[in-house]
Structure 1
Amino acid sequence: MALEQPQEPQAAPERRPAPRRGRSPHWILLISLLAHCAFTPAIFDIYFKTPVVEVSQRFSVEQEPGALAKRVVLFVGDGLRADKLFQTYPDRPFALSDPLPASVPDDPHALADDLDGSTTPAPFLRTLIQSGHAQWGVSHTRVPTESRPGHVALIGGMYEDVSAVTRGWSTNPVPFDSVFNQSSHAFTFGSPDILPMFKLGASDPERVAAFSYHEEAEDFTADAVHLDLWVLEQLRELVRNASSDSVLYAKLHEPGVVFFEHLLGLDTTGHSYRPHGPEYHRNIRVVDYVVRETVQLLSDFYGDDGETAFVFTADHGMSSLGNHGDGHPDNTRTPLVVWGKGVKRRADWEEPADHDEYSQGWGLRGVRRDVEQADVAALMSVLAGIPLPANSAGRVPLDYLDASPELRARAAFANARQLLAEASAKSELKKQHAVKFRPFPKFVDSPADGTFSAKHHVSSIIDLLADGNFIMAEKRSELLSDLSLEASSYFQKYDWMLLRTLVTLGYLGFIAFTAQTILVSSLALPPSPSSRFPIAAGLPIGAFLSLCARFAVERVPTSHYLYALLPSAFWIVVLRDPAPFLALVRTTRTSSISLSRLCASAGAVVLSILAMAYGYSDRRAFALIALGMGAMWPLAMLAPGVRATRGPVLSRWAAAMTALAVFPMLPVEKGENLSVVSSGAGLLIVMAVLALRLLKDDASPTWARTRRFLLAEVGLTAACVVVTCSSALSLQRKQGLPVLNQYAGWFILAASSSLPLVHGRPRGQPYPERLAVLLFAFAPSFVILSLSYEALFYGVYVAALIAWVQLESSLAAEEPNDDGRIKLAHVHVSLFFLAFLHLGFFGVGNVASISSFYLEPVYRLMTVFAPFPMGALLLFKLLIPFVALAAASSVINRRLHLPPLSLFLVGSVLSELLTIFFFFRVTDEGSWLEIGSSITNFVICSALGLFSSALLAGGEYLMAGTTG
């Protein structure tokens, strides 16, 4: 049904005013880009703004001399999963054919337990636990599970705001205090990606010494254990130098010294060979050796004085795909082993480990004491007798300490005062600028409600300590810590309600603004008087001005003004001209289409959007969507007589969508399979050869040119298969990446990707020719970056897009759109576009999970760790299917005789509904999997709105000048 105003019978012809001209879609496109760029970062302002505030006072444990350690050693096995360290194996977990480095002894103590003969890749650490010398547990990390945030939590005690990751690997996008900063001296060894932020971010950089290798050493095809052995050798050299350097010797013997060994080998090995491979377990064996040798080295240097505490943990885990980043439990559960001075030993009477299903089979003795990752910083501070980091959100795990009741109580009190100081600093910031300040309710003196001020809590704990009531003082300190964390969270969320309301009104305003644009062009309304300005349109202006006044007083960030400006602007425009919406109501009442049919159509659209939303948590939903598109929608739109004449088109469409529905059902976790990669390349070559036969048209002015380019693409795809298989086999044999293969891979990637640019946009070229050149130009790139069935997916995805073009062309021929207006029947086209967009994202992996990406294909082009180029290659591969979607959408838009970017207007309304849904699903509570998924889902969905607008504009550009 066209959304057209019904023609009423008139007594005599009269001259009617010219229809109103709608807004330019290109103008709407720019507004969409602005709106999404403004609102997407809003979740970081609302849910995840930085917790760092300036706190002037520091707190440490008041202790008797010698009660705790003089120095602390921190080992971080980068990318080490808890289960991979703690579990045992019936046989050796790595092959004898891949021997350990010569310096690592391969002696019988690799046995985990003498009774059953099981083995462990970490005999030293396991022996510490089984003998009762060490306390152990699982350290639970937060998202994003990346190296930088993980180390900030471990050493700074704070969960760096998620937005800091978007600022890359810069030294200190967010300043923070740390254990190193509070130590007397810190000696750090490891990766150049981690150490500089703690040295350059320290209040006294001379206090932190950093020893790091060159970035070129992080070669994913080399044996990564050399990185960990390098760290050990640097510590040995430091100790040797101390014997002849009196200044260094004095520094090493001061109380409050911290050593940090960043052991990157596991992360590099896990990315290359995945954490279930023998290489990963072999690297754990090397890490265990480095820990053992470090303990012995420092014991010898300090004369076995017994004044050293040791902490072994990891910054994040690793998925079965060899990746990390999201909140999957494999990424958030890391090991924690603590031993040495100040650490409790297991007593004979102690209860055995409280295992769950996760740790049931590990066979470890003692009590499993789980902590949050930020607790590790607090634990190290107490063990070393240094002040807790000012912005730490950690709680001292008191059960790890070998401490008297008094020392436990004083440690808990210092922790509580540090957390309270941070909450008080946040409170003061709000109090200074808030128009009407609302204090934290539980810190308001109200005996009737059972609440007391923070000062009352502090003074009561001091009295308890003075009276020697240490058990009660510890409990009251823990209560104060809980309340302080609640207060910090309260002030973090202080403006949540207002900001979420503004952002929601912004999204709704953009939807209404876009719908108004569609209705103006569809209903051919007469122009409205420019002088008319309804009173309702003045409401957003008044609200905006009052908000600006409030924001000026409160000195809020500039982004808050933008959150207020955009909704106001959208609603001013919408409320100023309600005629399109009133006309829609009148049209619906007088239309021959029943209200029930309209409601059914709207319900189908909503259900489709909800199905897409569900697909973010279970990608199999997109298989059902593809099947529904292939079987139900076209058949519902075409009458039986038409189905008979359009049977071949419908059959190809149904077959293509059925084949496409297979891929969301396939597992995300996939190993390298060169046979499947070659099959995918073969499919693409066969499709390109078939295109050469079907498109042959000597009458076409551009066919000779098109034929040359298609033949070049076929040749490059065939060459790509040879180079890819050769490189992959060499990497599998651990022979590295041949230089010739690397150059050939880069040449094929660059040459094939640049073919569309070289081909240009010759005028008068039939659209099937231009489409074919674009579709097959990126086949070599997809092949070289494929691990398994991705190339097959691209071939099927391209086939489905071609079938979609043919289907919509058939419909357009059956029901021509001579007036060029957007009609109700065109809504399904935008819905199909949105579905294809999601199928492109979720067809070969769960893009809502960062850990579904894998790096192995990138090693065919580069092997030295470089996060931005490697990430760019993965992103390039991810975007390839959407070049095809952009071109196909442009062709469909033209075949339907719609103005440029018309599908974008309808698609924007649909995609924004999905964005609002995920905006309210964002959470900072619950499991880290839930938090991480909620962030990722919203960002991806919001980016889709931004991306789809750019995509459709790009499609118009790519297909400009074609005929047909």
Structure 2
Amino acid sequence: MNWHLIVVGFLVHLVLFYSIFDIYFTSPLVHGMAPQISSLAPPAKRLVLFVADGLRADKFYQVYEDGETKSPYLRNIIQNSGTWGVSHTRVPTESRPGHVALIAGFYEDVSAVAKGWKENPVEFDSVFNQSRFTWSWGSPDILPMFSKGATGNHVFTSMYPAESEDFAGSDLAKLDLWVFDEVQNFIQSARQNQTLLNKLKSDKVVLFLHLLGLDTNGHAHKPYSDEYLENIKVVDSGVEKTVKLLEEFFADGQTAYVFTADHGMTNWGSHGAGHPSETLTPLLSWGAGVNKAQQPNSDDYQDGFQQEWKLSHVKRCDVNQADIAPLMSSLIGIAYPLNSVGILPLDYINNTDQYKAENLLTNALQLVAQYEKKESLMKATTLSVFFTPFKLLKSSRKVDILRQIRTLMSKEDYQASILLTKKLMYHSLEGLNYYQTYDRFFLGTSVVMGYLGWMAYVLQLLLREHTTITIMQKTTFNKFTNSSLTVQKGRRIIFMTIGLVVALLLMLQSSKYMYYVYCLLPVMLWNKATQHYQVIYDVINYLSLNHWYLMLIGYCIIGAVSVEILVLSFFYRELMSVGLLGIGLFPLMTSLRQSNKLLVFFWMLSCGVVAVFPMLPVVERQSNINLVMLAGFLMLLSSVLCVYLRPSQDRTTTLILIIQILIIGVSMVIVYTTSSSLSRKEGTPWYNQVLSWTILFTSLVIPSLTSRLILSRLLHSVLSLVAPFLLLSTAHEGLFCLALCYLMFFWLVLEYKLSNDSPSKLHTMTFDEVRIIEETNPRYLQLADVRRGFFFVFFVLTSFFGTGNIASINSFDPASVYCFLTVFNPFVMGTMLLCKIMIPMMMVTCTFHAIHITQQVPTKSLFLIVLLMSDLMALQFFFMVRDTGSWLEIGTSISHYVIVMCMILFIMLLLVVAKLFTTATFPWIQWLSRKTHIQ
């Protein structure tokens, strides 16, 4: 194993992976703007914000066949005393970005999700911060982000313990009931506390009720479940009681209410991407300063939902999620959040035209202030000769538009001023986006050059060190020898000059540190790629002498089609099945169709069985404990057969094998008892959790207790991985894992049989031989090795997509981790789901590691082939990343790039882990293995 190459490759790909965040997800925040506030008196003294976490618009507005609805109180408000619509959220549809958009008015970059729910990566302004006082109740995952970022001591929080967020709880709606009860207790205590009463009775007050029950019920039971739908009734009833309580307490008619959700949820109980079920959330506002229900106009937008929800008779007013922050600011007369990009939705405002025009202009000035700040920052970091300003909002044009708006307002032509103000706001948003993406083309070009430089380096390394081309073309090489020193010196000077010029330009522009990395990385890579430039002439000469141009074109076409199948499989999983069937037919083109008919039959059968799984539903499926039990039983049966069919081994190894079989049996019991306990809503028994964690950690150690014989170590490694995978299964994943194990075994045997020069029997070969291969002169690459590399990449993708649980980043089922924990912990749960992905990939990688030993090919050769294929895929997905179109398209394009880049990084890590997993052993086991091998 060439550790230097792996480390360098990992770092290069880490930079290329991280670049997507600097290109598409840089923070939109700028600081130093002056707050903008309207001088007119607001209609409300206080605002009550209800956020039903995870509530889908269709489930909230749904009317059943009997005419009933799960939210009768709120529906009555829609039809009589409030304004309603759909709030359109953005990717990522997660709790933190959703609440930031609602309360701060800007769309947080996706990287903030990875930095934590509670802690703010950067400080930002919010409606709560601009209020005089804010009281909030709800989840410890959401409330702290707005209290810790607020200036002064005026944002107060009341949170239930994190342990309450238990997916296995008997009544998850209790999270919402806790909030409503706490608000009631708070109001009661205010009656007896004059200081608190005075604060509550002041103006610019916000009460925030974060209702997490729906989100938790959706994860645990899915959004179509009775638990989720009944939770909507709980929320509706709780809102009704809270509103009556507050109206009686304040009794001044100056309270405004907003009811909405941070995101929706897919049918399979997840969120994070751009599916309409995730991006369409309800919005309802009523009370002081809010329009009552209106008749729709003939030209109002309708998409068919009104008829389905039986709300065609009431005007629907859709907004972008960030528009809710300016709405709340306008209703209680506070400054608009400094970084808000929302536009005040005037259809919700019940006030004079002057009030609407003044508040919209204030909103516009706040956007203009952001634009001016961002423009000045961009000017400061760009040389004047290269700077291109935003044409639609140049300084003179901006001043002219503001003068026209104020002139119209002085003439009381408020409708015209509103139209012109909206034009100014749209131009400001376009300008903000222009400067937000100002460096995108420049950075994208640098990243692409980095990709091409890395692939050129890998290709020349393959041709130079792992083929016979440069050896056979000594005459060409000698022709360049005399001038090589001069050329090399000139080449180094050229690249050094380019690097110095790039670094100087970046320094003059005060660019970010990562910009130096993105721009200088291609220079270094192309410097290395051209260091052995004579390889190009050697290849050309080699092809000319052998007349292989047509053959090369044919191989390139086959390679391009093969890689394209891998790319298209991200969009059409069924192509995995087609590819598996094609791979299954491969031995028919070899001598094995006559000499090893039985092996060919089992190979084709295993490919056919695995090909079934990509065609099974990935999501929108119920947990099926019977399939998990069937998979466990077949695993036990296969393990028992291995005991009788494997070559005779020492007692210690046999004992370990029996222990592993017992562990699989215990895993089955854990899965069954956990499922039974959850169905009774009693949670996961503590002893099941202890056993599950014990099995997970012991699985990492057990293989090191066994011998290094290839077949033996692979068997023990697979059995160690099977047990935790069974604990993480909810339906047919276990069957897929079993089918993949058989396919990997037949792949190993197939490759061994195809090799006619294997000096040893397969059952006597050990993983020790990898050291011998690396230290002696290994054979050079053959076309068959390219095919093996493709098989490996294909099987890795099959193991990724074939589990029926990973169609996209947000399609995980939290039920997968219930054997280990049920209390919400995003990082532990994410780690467990990552383990579920990596276990099948680990099986494939361990088999690939064994194959390279049986074929006596150095790891570096196959590693470079795999890396080159993976990079070709990654480069395609980089060009496919988009930030326009529907949120589903944007989210999908980003997900695909993230997945393929993570796959490349994981392959590098897995190759290292697979080597340790298959070779690490205790000294006494190593001695026993050698003794057994001699016998």
Contact 1:228 1:264 in 2 (8 A): yes
Contact 2:336 2:363 in 1 (8 A): yes
Contact 2:758 2:855 in 1 (8 A): no
Contact 1:76 1:313 in 2 (8 A): yes
Residue from 524, 547, 559 that aligns with 2:502 = 547
Gap change, CA 1:333 and 1:650, over 3 Å in 2: same
Cross-structure match for 2:379: 431
Contact 2:264 2:281 in 1 (8 A): yes
1:530: Cα distance to partner?
A: 6.2
Pairing 1:419–2:367 present: yes
- What CA distance in whole angstroms lies between the structure 1 residues aligned with 2:595 and 2:751? 15
Pairing 1:886–2:845 present: yes
Pairing 1:87–2:53 present: no
Residue from 629, 640, 650 that aligns with 1:689 = 640
1:390: Cα distance to partner?
A: 0.7
Residue from 661, 664, 668 that aligns with 2:611 = 661
Cross-structure match for 1:678: 629
Residue type of the partner of 2:130?
Q
Cross-structure match for 1:243: 191
Contact 2:118 2:142 in 1 (8 A): no
1:574: Cα distance to partner?
A: 1.6
Cross-structure match for 1:440: 390
- What CA distance in whole angstroms lies between the structure 2 residues aligned with 1:729 and 1:802? 35
Bigger share in helix? 2
Contact 1:61 1:414 in 2 (8 A): yes
Deviates more, 1:237-246 or 1:330-339: 237-246
1:847: Cα distance to partner?
A: 3.1
Cross-structure match for 1:805: 748
- What CA distance in whole angstroms lies between the structure 1 residues aligned with 2:667 and 2:229? 33
After superposition, the CA RMSD in angstroms is: 2.1
Deviates more, 1:423-432 or 1:845-854: 845-854
Equivalent residues in 2 for 1:51-66, closer than 5 Å: 51-63=28-40, 65=41
- What CA distance in whole angstroms lies between the structure 1 residues aligned with 2:540 and 2:849? 31
Cross-structure match for 1:645: 595
Q: Deviations over 1:658-684 (max 9, x none)?
A: 111111100012211111101111121
- What CA distance in whole angstroms lies between the structure 1 residues aligned with 2:524 and 2:695? 49
Residue type of the partner of 2:329?
S
1:406: Cα distance to partner?
A: 1.7
Contact 1:79 1:315 in 2 (8 A): yes
Cross-structure match for 2:922: none
- What CA distance in whole angstroms lies between the structure 2 residues aligned with 1:588 and 1:568? 29
Cross-structure match for 2:764: none
Extract unaligned runs of 5+ from structure 1. 1-23, 91-116, 446-451
Cross-structure match for 2:248: 300
1:738: Cα distance to partner?
A: 2.4
Contact 1:845 1:853 in 2 (8 A): no
Cross-structure match for 2:10: 33
Equivalent residues in 2 for 1:107-122, closer than 5 Å: 117-122=66-71
Residue type of the partner of 2:558?
A
- What CA distance in whole angstroms lies between the structure 1 residues aligned with 2:37 and 2:352? 16
For residue 336 of structure 1, give the secondary structure of its aligned residue in structure 2. strand
1:819: Cα distance to partner?
A: 5.3
For residue 533 of structure 1, give the secondary structure of its aligned residue in structure 2. helix
1:220: Cα distance to partner?
A: 1.5
Gap change, CA 1:509 and 1:918, over 3 Å in 2: same
Residue type of the partner of 1:70?
K
Contact 1:716 1:752 in 2 (8 A): no
Contact 2:74 2:236 in 1 (8 A): yes
Cross-structure match for 2:324: 376
Contact 2:454 2:529 in 1 (8 A): no
Deviates more, 1:673-682 or 1:737-746: 737-746
- What CA distance in whole angstroms lies between the structure 2 residues aligned with 1:33 and 1:848? 25
1:192: Cα distance to partner?
A: 0.6
For residue 232 of structure 1, give the secondary structure of its aligned residue in structure 2. helix
Pairing 1:178–2:152 present: no
Gap change, CA 1:351 and 1:71, over 3 Å in 2: farther
1:752: Cα distance to partner?
A: 3.6
- What CA distance in whole angstroms lies between the structure 1 residues aligned with 2:198 and 2:182? 19
Gap change, CA 1:688 and 1:590, over 3 Å in 2: farther
Residue from 550, 561, 564 that aligns with 1:596 = 550
Contact 1:893 1:901 in 2 (8 A): no
Equivalent residues in 2 for 1:221-300, closer than 5 Å: 221-222=168-169, 223-300=171-248
Residue from 503, 510, 514 that aligns with 2:458 = 514
Residue type of the partner of 2:536?
F
Contact 2:618 2:806 in 1 (8 A): no
- What CA distance in whole angstroms lies between the structure 1 residues aligned with 2:116 and 2:751? 43
Q: Deviations over 1:833-876 (max 9, x none)?
A: 11111111101236352331011132222122111111111111
1:520: Cα distance to partner?
A: 1.2
Contact 1:537 1:573 in 2 (8 A): no
1:743: Cα distance to partner?
A: 2.8
Residue from 316, 324, 330 that aligns with 2:271 = 324
1:784: Cα distance to partner?
A: 1.4
Pairing 1:719–2:666 present: yes
Cross-structure match for 2:579: 625
Cross-structure match for 1:212: 159
Pairing 1:573–2:528 present: yes
For residue 573 of structure 1, give the secondary structure of its aligned residue in structure 2. helix
Residue type of the partner of 1:771?
L
Residue type of the partner of 1:124?
Y
- What CA distance in whole angstroms lies between the structure 2 residues aligned with 1:85 and 1:26? 56
Deviates more, 1:232-241 or 1:182-191: 232-241
For residue 576 of structure 1, give the secondary structure of its aligned residue in structure 2. coil
Cross-structure match for 1:847: 806
Cross-structure match for 1:782: 725
Contact 2:177 2:238 in 1 (8 A): yes
Residue type of the partner of 1:78?
D
1:536: Cα distance to partner?
A: 4.7
Contact 2:295 2:314 in 1 (8 A): no
- What CA distance in whole angstroms lies between the structure 1 residues aligned with 2:850 and 2:432? 54
For residue 859 of structure 2, give the secondary structure of its aligned residue in structure 1. coil
Pairing 1:900–2:855 present: no
- What CA distance in whole angstroms lies between the structure 2 residues aligned with 1:844 and 1:825? 28
Cross-structure match for 1:769: 712
Contact 2:488 2:531 in 1 (8 A): yes
- What CA distance in whole angstroms lies between the structure 2 residues aligned with 1:591 and 1:707? 55
Residue type of the partner of 1:627?
L
Contact 1:58 1:418 in 2 (8 A): yes
1:461: Cα distance to partner?
A: 1.0
Residue type of the partner of 1:28?
L
- Number of residue-to-residue matches in the alignment: 891
Contact 1:620 1:664 in 2 (8 A): yes
Residue from 403, 408, 419 that aligns with 2:351 = 403
- What CA distance in whole angstroms lies between the structure 2 residues aligned with 1:165 and 1:877? 21
For residue 880 of structure 2, give the secondary structure of its aligned residue in structure 1. coil
Q: TM-score, normalised by structure 1?
A: 0.89
Contact 2:778 2:858 in 1 (8 A): no
Pairing 1:129–2:104 present: no
- What CA distance in whole angstroms lies between the structure 1 residues aligned with 2:747 and 2:723? 24
For residue 86 of structure 2, give the secondary structure of its aligned residue in structure 1. strand
Residue type of the partner of 2:423?
L
- What CA distance in whole angstroms lies between the structure 1 residues aligned with 2:595 and 2:495? 54
Contact 2:393 2:428 in 1 (8 A): no
For residue 339 of structure 1, give the secondary structure of its aligned residue in structure 2. strand
For residue 526 of structure 2, give the secondary structure of its aligned residue in structure 1. helix
Deviates more, 1:134-143 or 1:854-863: 854-863
Residue from 480, 490, 500 that aligns with 2:444 = 500
Gap change, CA 1:308 and 1:173, over 3 Å in 2: same
Q: Percent identity?
A: 37
1:244: Cα distance to partner?
A: 2.1
- What CA distance in whole angstroms lies between the structure 2 residues aligned with 1:736 and 1:515? 54
Cross-structure match for 1:745: 692
Pairing 1:728–2:687 present: no
- What CA distance in whole angstroms lies between the structure 2 residues aligned with 1:353 and 1:430? 40
